[in-house]
Amino acid sequence: MTSIPFRSRLLRTCAGLLAVALLSGCASLPPVVADAPAPAPSMPTPASPPPPSSTPTPSEASPSPTAPSPTATPSAPSEARPLAGRVIVIDPGHNRNTNGRFIRHKVPAGNGKTKPCNSTGTATNANYAEHAYNWAQANALAAELRGRGATVRLTRSDDRGNGPCVNTRASLANELAADLLLSIHADGSYRKGARGFHVIVSTSMAGGDRIEQESRRLAGALRAALPKEAGVPRSTYIGKGTAMSPRSDIATLNFAKVPAVMMEMGNMRNAKDAALLRSSAWRARAATAMADAISAYLG
Ligand code: ZN
């Protein structure tokens, strides 16, 4: 017992020394401590503003675009999760595409033709870039679909890089045997008064006649939902009032073996359409409209 007080004193002494050591250790750490927060000011990305006309949304900030839905389960469809078990691939058209040589190199386009890997897309007159809109809209749609239980994948994982090329935009959907591929774009027509959305379908799909027919059915569902639910009119300049544009030169669609359509959500060069496309509230409405169309299509 007599040794206990001594030990106790010793422990207290050691504790005191330890405290000093820790303090001095911390005190000796300034370079480390100073280093730790250093990356923050040296990392401009979080503070870096989006393009001036862009309205960031939470989905733009942290899209986790390629991760499968954390809420997706293999459980049977239910009222609350009507798209459970469905796999949907969304293609946010273009990308920032700063590597001109890369995006200009020729790739197969289908039909034995070739075309450039990609392009930089269009923009509003206030320079809100199409790739940024496509990215924001794709993520809004992905969130809506995941909320309904679908597994959703995107064809690109960020809005900063280059590509993928148009000849591989359908690859992920094909590999996953997805229920459908939806490519999101916006148009850039300078024609006076040209506004409204249209849907492009391919007349030359790798999936053949049945997939082309299914794609037209999907396009019909989207065409019905968008004006009604998102208030965007049918194109005044493409499709002669049908808002449908059958084409054979769209590689993204031509290589698809699953139902696939390309949305031109509006004309970025039109002031009314540009105001919609720039609005995160409108993008949410458009996402709901498209998700409703997809739900109707998938039955
Ligand atoms: Zn485009």
Which carries the bigger pLDDT value, residue 80 or residue 29?
80
Which carries the bigger pLDDT value, residue 229 or residue 73?
229
The residues pairing with 114 across neighbouring beta strands, listed in sequence order, are: 108
Report how far residue 121's alpha carbon sits from residue 67's, in angstroms, rounded to the nearest whole number: 26
Do 155 and 238 have their domain in common? Answer: yes
Residue 159 near residue 237, CB atoms below 8 Å: no
- 181 lies in a domain? yes
Which carries the bigger pLDDT value, residue 50 or residue 295?
295
Do 16 and 123 have their domain in common? Answer: no
- 55 lies in a domain? no
Cα of 188 vs centre of ligand 1, distance in Å, is 8
51-55, 183-187, 266-270: the lowest-pLDDT one = 51-55
The residues pairing with 244 across neighbouring beta strands, listed in sequence order, are: 199
Active site residue 229: no
Helix (H, G, I), strand (E, B) or coil at 277: helix
- 140 lies in a domain? yes
- 58 lies in a domain? no
Residue 214: band (very low, low, confident or very high) from pLDDT cuts 50, 70, 90: very high
Residue 67: band (very low, low, confident or very high) from pLDDT cuts 50, 70, 90: very low
Do 29 and 85 have their domain in common? Answer: no
Which carries the bigger pLDDT value, residue 232 or residue 24?
232
Q: What is the CATH number of the domain that holds 84?
A: 3.40.630.40
Do 159 and 228 have their domain in common? Answer: yes
Residue 3: both structure tokens together: 């040794």
Cα of 211 vs centre of ligand 1, distance in Å, is 23
- 54 lies in a domain? no
Do 286 and 224 have their domain in common? Answer: yes
Cα of 129 vs centre of ligand 1, distance in Å, is 10
Residue 114 near residue 35, CB atoms below 8 Å: no
pTM of the model: 0.75
The residues pairing with 151 across neighbouring beta strands, listed in sequence order, are: 87
How confident is the model over 117-123, as a mean pLDDT?
96
Do 210 and 82 have their domain in common? Answer: yes
Do 36 and 99 have their domain in common? Answer: no
Cα of 265 vs centre of ligand 1, distance in Å, is 10
54-63, 131-140, 222-231, 237-246: the lowest-pLDDT one = 54-63
In this predicted model, what pLDDT tens digit does every residue of 218-241 receive, in sequence order?
Answer: 999 999 999 999 999 999 999 999
Do 71 and 106 have their domain in common? Answer: yes
- 12 lies in a domain? yes
Which amino acid, one-letter code, is at 157? S
Number of separate domains in the chain: 2
Do 133 and 73 have their domain in common? Answer: yes
In this predicted model, what pLDDT tens digit does every residue of 146-177 receive, in sequence order?
Answer: 999 999 999 999 999 999 999 999 999 999 99
> What confidence score (pLDDT) does residue 161 get?
96
Among residues 144, 212, 214, 264, the one annotated as catalytic is 264
How confident is the model over 114-121, as a mean pLDDT?
96
- 213 lies in a domain? yes
Is it the case that residue 272 has pLDDT exceeding 70?
Answer: yes
Do 18 and 119 have their domain in common? Answer: no
How confident is the model over 71-89, as a mean pLDDT?
75
Cα of 96 vs centre of ligand 1, distance in Å, is 12
Do 29 and 73 have their domain in common? Answer: no
Is it the case that residue 117 has pLDDT exceeding 90?
Answer: yes
- 50 lies in a domain? no
Do 31 and 95 have their domain in common? Answer: no
Report how far residue 65's alpha carbon sits from residue 44's, in angstroms, rounded to the nearest whole number: 22
Name the residue range of residue 36's domain. Answer: 8-42
